[in-house]
Structures are given as C-alpha cells and as structure tokens.
Amino acid sequence: MALHRITGSLDDLVAPALVAAFDGWIDAAGAATGCANQLGSGGDTVIAFDPDVLTDYRSRRPVLDVIDGVLNEIAWPQLSIRRRRAGDRDLLVLVGPEPDFRWRELGGALTVLALQVGVVEWVTLGSIPAAVPHTRVTNVFATASRPDLLHHEVEQGPQGLLRVPSAAISAVELSVMGAGIPCVGFYAQVPHYVGGPFASGSIALLEHVERHLGVEIGLGSLPEDALAQRQRLDAAVEGDESTRAYVTQLEDGIGEERIPSGDELAGEIERFLRDTEGGETGR
C-alpha cells in the first residue's frame, strides 16, 4: 500500500526547501509544529499521507464528533506536505502527527520525492524540554550535516556523544542526508513546566528559519498568543511562593552558557519521559 498520494502541483518549484516537524516526540509544548503550521499557512496541500498505514489509532485516537446523540464525523490524524511561495523561492512544509509505523519506508519515500522535485535543503524543526524559565528569550540550537550550512549566528548542539530515544523525524532526516541533500535542524529549548502550546518557542524557531532560508513569512497571531501565555504564566508564578522561587533559581542558573552538556540534556529528556504519561508528547 502506498504511503502517500499527490494532491496538488509540484511543477515549477524554485529552489525548494523542505521544512518538517512532527507532532509527538521532540515537539515539546507543540513549539515545532506551531512553527511549521505558520510556515505552511495559506499553502496548498500537495502530498497527503495515508493515516491508516502510518498510525496506531489506539495510541493517537481520531476525534469523534457526536451531535445531538448522533455519530457525526471523525477527524483522522493527517500528515501532509503544503506548498507555499516565500519571496523568490518555494517552501514545502511537512507537518502532522509523528508516524507510529514504517519509519524507514517513510524516509525512503520522502528522499525519493525530495530528489524528484529538486529539494535543495532539508530543515528539521524540534523542541525539547529544558530547565529554562519562561521569562527569558527562547534559546535555539542547531545541527547540520555540514558545518558551513549554518550561515547566521546560531549555537550548535551539545558536543560529543548524545544518546537519546530517536524521533521519526530524525530517521527521515538521516535518509535524506544519505542521499546527499544538505540538512539542518533547529531545536527550541522549552521550559519543562509548560504544557503548551508554547508560542514563544514557535516564534524563535520561525525567526531562525527565516534567517537561514532568506525568506519572510510573518508571525501571524503568534506574538499575541505568546503575550497571553506569558501573562498567564506570570500570574501563576506570582501566586505561588515555591513556584516563584523555582523560576528565580532557573533564571539565576542561566548565566552566560545556555546550551546544556550532552549529559545534562539527556538527563532533562529522561526526566521528561518519566513525568509524561506513556513517554510521549502531544498525545
């Protein structure tokens, strides 16, 4: 059974970049998919993936609408690629639920597709829980298949070996990288106590993508969403002395260096796994 079907035109693409984010693992507080949805806003869906093939519905259940006691409609989880113009180039935005099955096959299919339509660069978006306060600018670190791909000032990820549970998006990126397509990744550090959505993280990622690709997308409603969430978090912190003390401790601990070591980052992820039911986010 085919993983996807073409639903729109992929002709006449100009210097297309494929930007990808999956709702699930490595999408703490929905910051990565929030950014991807803003990037793809207004675009046409050109590829749709079959959720029956990729999704375990017992893990990610479809949403059922019941109206006046009558079963009405089911909203199935949908992974898709949207196409939109950004300045003088095209963006292909892959966003949706993290697949449960056939990761390697998906990576192969997306690699073939990227080669066929002439994708010149792959960009992964992610967000991870970290011991950082919501009162500071969201930090973003980057990965790259080649050091020279990071044109603007951005901190590279933890050095040395970092061994963590893999995300589907990483398996796909490795397949694309193996075909010789340049790959970069931007990862926002989200306060681990924020459930989401965390608009400030989406804004930080979007700004990095815009600078990296040399495009202007616009922030849409994200600034208003970020301000409203900041006000709610500030009020919650102010109303509880122990929480206020904890946030102050996080602020004092930032210092000059904002990127954690590999051991620290792995520890944060392990703690997040323990604290999150089922070891997954966004489900």
DSSP SS3 for 141: strand
User: What pLDDT does 254 receive?
Assistant: 63
Residue tagged 């999956």 (tokens): 22
Please, what sign has the CA dihedral across residues 37, 41, 43, 45?
positive
Is the CB of residue 16 less than 8 Å from the CB of residue 10? no
C-alpha span between 262 and 281 (Å, rounded):
21
* Residue corresponding to tokens 């044109």: 151
Radius of gyration, CA atoms only, the chain: 19
- The encoded tokens of residue 32 equal 């990565």
* Per-residue pLDDT at 270: 52
Q: Can you give the pLDDT of all 283 residues of the chain as single tens digits?
A: 689 999 999 999 999 999 999 998 899 999 999 999 999 999 999 999 999 999 999 999 999 999 999 999 999 999 999 999 999 999 999 999 999 999 999 999 999 999 999 999 999 999 999 989 998 889 999 999 988 898 766 777 767 887 888 999 999 999 999 999 999 999 999 998 888 789 999 999 999 999 999 999 999 999 999 999 899 888 888 887 888 888 888 888 765 444 444 454 445 445 544 554 444 434 4
Q: pLDDT tens-digit profile of 99-141?
A: 999 999 999 999 999 999 999 999 999 999 998 999 888 999 9
The distance from CA 108 to its chain's CA centroid, rounded to whole angstroms, is 20
Q: Domain residues for 125? A: 4-279
pLDDT of residue 276: 47
Identify the sign of the CA torsion 147, 151, 84, 34. Answer: positive
pLDDT in tens, 132-161: 999 888 999 999 998 889 876 677 776 788
Contact of 82 with 40, CB cutoff 8 Å: yes
Alpha carbon of residue 98 to chain centroid: 10
- In 38-182 the beta strands, taken as DSSP E runs, fall at 44-49, 63-67, 70-75, 80-86, 89-97, 121-130, 140-144, 155-156
Rounded Cα gap, residues 55 and 35, in angstroms: 23
- In the β-sheet with 4-6, what is the strand arrangement from edge to edge? 4-6, 44-49, 80-86, 89-97, 17-23, 121-130, 183-191, 140-144, 155-156
Domain count, the chain: 1
Question: Which ranges of 118-261 does DSSP label H, i.e. alpha helix?
Answer: 168-178, 199-213, 222-238, 241-254
Residue 266: predicted pLDDT: 46
Nearest partner of 267 among 158, 181, 178, judged by Cα = 158
CA angle 29, 51, 94 (to 5 degrees): 55
CATH number at residue 114: 3.40.50.10900
pLDDT in the model for residue 127? 96
Contacts of 163 (CB under 8 A, 6+ apart): 266
